[in-house]
Structure 1
């Protein structure tokens, strides 16, 4: 059985799915959760506090889900490239489905949504850290850089959502190629090599 706090957050999420946050009423959230209004205020103090907690809950689940996608890919025998591609697909699909997560990642908020307490950069940092932790230290600095590049590629699709239904598969293919290094590094200088030398 969920705690009073969890029940309130579930009720708030349901209310937000049906109406803009500005019109969500605390008394209705409490009633839907089956608790008193005083319990609601004891837990969150204000409507802003409830909104911030709701955003945090969604972001926490999103970050955990991305790491779980990596873990599942590893258990299936996937290498780091396949694992990070799986995380990219998770990011793209979940952000498409969850407005709160999409807003937290992009910083694009509207009056339908409660405001977060953390900027998008911190959310992205948590996301990258969770993915790399799920890889259990595989690779080194090069993998970390490639993983970050793949993450930013996936996030670019969140900022400007694609209309093609095969977009997640295409993103996964590019991220996998990026991390495998076989098809994206040919002809490019190494990270510390400086600009190419101009021939006379």
Structure 2
């Protein structure tokens, strides 16, 4: 008989797969038509689940949209984490490559495209502007953990300062993407890279010489 820990892991994995399937189905439908013309019944059918299962997981249409927006924020953290691992010792490149990957994927997302080039839907726009608090808090907390675990090895306080500012700036570019004259990933690398360098230099200065 599986242990309690094993059962919890299996249940957690099954729930994550369910959420992923539903959010993927929503993404597929957004690629076909605007959010205002998509029903929850269609999303549930696309995921191969019942409408009640969708409601049990997300609570409402708004809850589903919020979960989708949070997944976009998770993509930011995932890209930064990957870039840190690929650019050990180079903070500027880590931030530049992480943000560039995030912007590239976000620009292809149908929900983002509907905000940028389609008819603006206030319920979606608010999720990443006026009501973006939960999304920013979620991504910030995840990025704090990444910065503590990575080669940068920030303290909690250092990671909070870095993550909160980076997440807010990156998320703000979704509803108002910068013009082609700005290389925002490179700009953010030049802004945040020196902060990382200063933290590392300060840490090295505290190590007594032998």
Structure 2-normalised TM-score?
A: 0.58
1:120, distance to aligned residue in structure 2 (A): 0.7
- SS, match of residue 78 in structure 1: coil
Counterpart among 120, 139, 144 of residue 127 in structure 1: 139
State how 1:34-183 maps to structure 2 within 5 Å.
Answer: 34=48, 39-44=50-55, 49-60=60-71, 62-63=73-74, 65-79=75-89, 81-82=91-92, 83-98=94-109, 100=111, 110=121, 113=124, 119-136=131-148, 138-140=153-155, 141-164=157-180, 166-181=183-198
Q: How far apart, in 2, do the equivalents of 1:52 and 1:123 lie?
A: 12
Give the gaps of 5 or more residues in structure 2.
1-15, 200-210
Q: Quick one: structure 1 residues 150 and 3, their matched pair in 2 at CA, closer, same or farther if it must change by over 3 Å?
A: closer
Q: How far apart, in 2, do the equivalents of 1:148 and 1:30 lie?
A: 34
User: When the two structures are aligned, how many residues end up with a matched partner?
Assistant: 173
- SS, match of residue 174 in structure 2: helix
1:162, distance to aligned residue in structure 2 (A): 1.1
Give the gaps of 5 or more residues in structure 1.
183-200
Q: Quick one: structure 1 residues 13 and 171, their matched pair in 2 at CA, closer, same or farther if it must change by over 3 Å?
A: same
1:156, distance to aligned residue in structure 2 (A): 4.1
Measured on the aligned residues, the alpha-carbon RMSD in Å equals 4.2
Q: Quick one: structure 1 residues 10 and 21, their matched pair in 2 at CA, closer, same or farther if it must change by over 3 Å?
A: same
User: In the alignment, which residue of structure 1 is the partner of 2:11?
Assistant: none
- On the 8 A contact 1:84/1:131 being kept in 2, the answer is no
Deviations 1:22-78 (A, max 9, x none): 22234444544455xxx2234316x97245225314523531x33333332333342
Q: Quick one: structure 1 residues 81 and 54, their matched pair in 2 at CA, closer, same or farther if it must change by over 3 Å?
A: same
Q: How far apart, in 1, do the equivalents of 2:83 and 2:17 lie?
A: 32
- On the 8 A contact 2:125/2:175 being kept in 1, the answer is no
User: In the alignment, which residue of structure 1 is the partner of 2:39?
Assistant: 25
Q: Which has the higher helix share?
A: 2
Structure 1-normalised TM-score?
A: 0.60
Q: Quick one: structure 1 residues 71 and 32, their matched pair in 2 at CA, closer, same or farther if it must change by over 3 Å?
A: closer
Q: Quick one: structure 1 residues 86 and 4, their matched pair in 2 at CA, closer, same or farther if it must change by over 3 Å?
A: closer
